[in-house]
């Protein structure tokens, strides 16, 4: 007995994610995980607040020194996050 109408599991999960409205949340989680990976443990621990919307990543820091160091490297960090995710997820990195 051969099945003729089948759906691959990745297509089925993709449909479920879109229909459930989970797409933005998953994208946000990917960006936050990439942030932690790119900046490293030291700066990740000093990040007090992260907010992602409309391809803009906002980050706040508990240390002014860390904030200044990240601010200087923000373009390189944005490029590394996009490279790690394999697409244009972050257009602007806003440091507070």
The predicted pLDDT at position 44 comes to 95
The predicted pLDDT at position 14 comes to 87
The predicted pLDDT at position 1 comes to 60
Instruction: Give CA–CA dist 3/62, Å, rounded.
Output: 58
* N-term to C-term CA, the chain: 62
pLDDT digits (tens, 9 = 90+) for 21-78: 898 899 999 999 999 999 999 999 999 999 999 999 999 999 999 999 999 999 999 9
pTM of the model: 0.84
Q: Are 47 and 34 in contact (CB under 8 A)?
A: no
Domains of the chain, each with CATH number or no CATH: 25-95 (3.30.300)
């Amino acid at each position: 007995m051969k099945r003729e109408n089948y759906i691959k599991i990745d297509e089925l999960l993709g449909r479920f994610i879109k229909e459930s409205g989970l797409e933005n949340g998953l994208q946000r989680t990917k960006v936050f995980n990439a942030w932690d990976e790119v900046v490293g443990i030291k700066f990740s621990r000093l990040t007090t607040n992260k907010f992602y919307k409309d391809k803009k990543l906002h980050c706040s820091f508990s240390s002014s020194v860390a904030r200044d160091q990240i601010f200087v490297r923000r373009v390189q960090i944005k490029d590394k996050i996009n490279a790690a995710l394999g697409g244009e997820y972050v257009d602007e990195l806003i440091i507070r």
